[in-house]
Amino acid sequence: MKKLDNKVAIVTGAGSGIGKAVAIAYATAGAKVVVSDIDETGGKETVASITKAGGDATFFKADASTSEGNAALVTFAVTTYGKLDIACNNAGIGGEMNLAGDYSLEGWKKVMDINLNGVFYGCKHQLTAMENNGGGVIVNMASIHGMVAAPQSAAYTTSKHGVVGLTKNIGVEYGPKNIRCNAVGPGYINTPLLENNLSPEMLAMLKDKHPIGRLGEADEVAKLVLFLSSDDSSFMTGGYYLIDGGYTAV
């Protein structure tokens, strides 16, 4: 029997990078997976990868930055598969790079809407479905910058600190209801988010900041998320778990 047999899972931002790796890991472990992303092409490619390997997945296009989008996603999962057991709130952006005092209001709002408000909206609707199902597990994607600063990315740092705080509150409030909630804090990972926003020189500099001497891989993060989503972590909730190649230890 696989770790997630008979489980139904949602993954947001699953069209690429960490989200795609998590969706594939869930499916490989036996879960039925609702792959969600604003990028329909990427999301459907993730579904194709899962089904080609013999897994069960379906795509639902949703804007993770809105309450309506998250509500529709949860409704789709429950309507399609009958319940919701697991959710990984992974959708996020890096945002503009600027000093805090020069950060645009529009840029600030965009990062907060996706990285923090979107996670809250997701949790809000997922928690209701999980209560109706007698329990569940939520894993929120934070970052090392839920602990340390990201210079010239005040919105990103603030949003990820917020995700950690939200996760702790949910862990405390919903433990008695058989719902666990944890956050993952990746270091810099080889993903399109990095490739599309940073120069080769910046990427090389970031690599040097990790004592392990390289960037992380999405499937390494997915293994931690899978652990936190399974019964292997049944006594863990309200936590924030770093997977950062030693970045925050320096």
The set of catalytic residues is 156
In whole angstroms, give the CA distance from residue 118 to residue 135. 22
Tokens of 38: 């604003």
DSSP secondary structure string for all residues of 35-58: EEES-HHHHHHHHHHHHHTT-EEE
Count of all residues that appear for the chain in the document: 250
Tracing tokens 């008695």 back to the chain, one arrives at 176
Distance of CA 80 to the CA centre of its chain: 22
Residues 6+ apart with CB under 8 A from 80: 34, 58
Are 127 and 174 contacting, i.e. CB atoms less than 8 angstroms apart?
A: yes
* E-assigned strand segments in the chain: 8-11, 32-37, 56-61, 86-89, 136-141, 179-186, 240-243
